[in-house]
Amino acid sequence: MSTSAGPTPPRVTIDRHDPVHRRLEQLVPGLSASIGLTQRRFAPRVVRSRREIVHEGEAVAGIWTMRAGWAALVRHFADGRRQVQHLLLPGDPLPLERDAAYPATIVALTPVTLIDLDGTWLPDPALLDDALRRHTMATVHRLLDATARLGRQVAIERFAHLLLELRDRLRGVGLASDTHFKMPLTQEMLADTLGLTSVHVNRTLQMMRQQQLIELEGRAVTLLLPAELARMADYASPIDHPVAMH
């Protein structure tokens, strides 16, 4: 697993407002208390932007989980093209199964901080395995949504669906409201995620602004008409049960 150069970061604690705590509670209510999450101090790993976190086929021990930053499962092609297959957000575990080889390369899209939830301190490792199973099923559903986006939706529908998915996932870990969140993705990253060119991404974003569907200011996204976006994208209810940001 890749790490950044430099001094070792200090150990960190996790409180109930932390994305990791919120995500575990989404997956298995009561899990954080059962494993004593807030009583532990974790040694974080930091990966710089655009660096590989895990290479396809690599098996990494532990249950490394995103505490901060955005990453992605990606597929690289020989001619230099790249497809972002799935976005990883704060709170998301990396593995789909304990100690299994990763099915895709994971790249940090921004600086990423990871913590390992595994360890001898766990009273019952099966508790985290249950959370991983639920995380895996949620990931499968999102991969199916991504397949539908790329296969049957036009550009503006793809954008609407992706923005609503990101809103719901971030809201579940306290990083979004019903209409507002931060999205640190460049137009190049969005193009790789949505199967479009950067020019098409720019044109579609301008169209959505002109139609007063969204506002963009730096990294901040505001969904002006979320119900219309959901209708346009045929967006289904989220499979998780998000907790609204306070």
Structure confidence at residue 23 (pLDDT): 97
Same domain, 117 and 191: no
Same domain, 126 and 165: no
Radius of gyration of the chain (CA): 18
136 in any annotated domain: yes
Number of domains composing the chain:
2
Give 202-211 contacts, CB < 8 A, sequence gap 24+. Answer: 204/155, 204/156, 204/159, 205/159, 207/156, 208/156, 208/159, 208/160
Same domain, 39 and 91: yes
Q: Can you give the pTM of this predicted structure? A: 0.91
**Which residue segment(s) compose the domain that 206 sits in?**
154-233
Same domain, 37 and 119: yes
68 in any annotated domain: yes
Q: Which of 140, 166, 199 is the last residue of a domain?
A: 140
How far apart are the two ends of the chain, measured CA to CA in Å? 35
- Per-residue pLDDT of 104-158, as tens digits, reads 999 999 999 999 999 867 888 888 999 999 999 999 999 999 999 999 999 999 9
CATH number for the domain spanning 161: value is 1.10.10.10
